[in-house]
Amino acid sequence: MGPRNDTEDAWRRSRAQLDRALARYGWLDPAVVTVFGGVDPPGRGNREHRDLRNWETIRAWAAQAAAAAAVPCPADPGPAGYP
């Protein structure tokens, strides 16, 4: 997902594509949304292999998503782990 070219226009187009995809599912209300840089798939032969993934940004977004999805656990989960 995301652009494979690091230009402002490529990032804008990728975000627009994501927004259009999300708009098709009005019931879906994501807690956090972002676009990451893309990567060329393996097997491109001798062509340049592009990788715009920024793992620090991805880890920060994952932590934000996990925090947004966190649900408090009951103090006493009860028998067999059920409340």
CA nearest neighbour of 68 among 25, 19, 34: 34
Domain extent for 20: 1-39+50-66
pTM of the model: 0.68
Per-residue model confidence as pLDDT tens digits over 23-63: 999 999 888 899 999 888 777 777 778 889 888 988 888 88
Number of domains in the chain: 1
Give the separation between CA 1 and CA 61, rounded to whole angstroms. 15
Does some domain include residue 30?
A: yes
- Average pLDDT along the chain: 82
Does some domain include residue 12?
A: yes
* Angle at alpha carbon of residue 17, lines to 19 and 6, rounded to 5°: 115
Hey, is 16 helix, strand or coil? Answer: helix
Four-residue CA torsion sign, 46, 41, 50, 5: positive
In sequence order, the β-bridge partners of residue 51 are 39
Does some domain include residue 72?
A: no
